[in-house]
Amino acid sequence: MKKVKLILCLTLGCLLMLGCVGGQAAGKRLEMDKAKAIATLQVGFDYSEAELGKYLDQGMSYKELKNICMHAFAANVPLQEVANLRHKYGWTRVKFLLGLTPQKFYEGELNYKANRLYKIMGLDKKTSIKYMKLGFASHQVKRASYIARHCDVPLIDILNMKTRQLKWGDVAEQLGLPRDACMK
pLDDT in tens, 125-158: 999 999 999 999 999 999 999 999 999 999 999 9
Q: Final residue of a domain: which of 40, 75, 100? A: 100
Of 74, 100, 126, the domain-final residue? 100
- Which of 100, 122, 157 terminates a domain? The answer is 100
pTM: 0.74
Q: Tell me, what amino acid is at 166?
A: L
CA 175 to chain centre: 28
- Number of domains observed in the structure of the chain: 2
Nearest to residue 66, comparing CAs of 97, 28, 88, 39? 39
* Percent above pLDDT 70 for the chain: 83
Q: What is the span of the domain harbouring residue 124?
A: 101-184
- Collect the ranges in the chain with pLDDT lower than 70: 1-31
Residue 25: what pLDDT? 46
Considering the domain boundaries, does residue 175 fall inside one? yes
> In the chain, which ranges are E strands?
none
Report how far residue 16's alpha carbon sits from residue 113's, in angstroms, rounded to the nearest whole number: 40
Whole-number pLDDT of residue 23: 43
Q: Which residue from 38, 44, 41, 36 is spatially nearest to 118, judged by alpha carbons?
A: 44
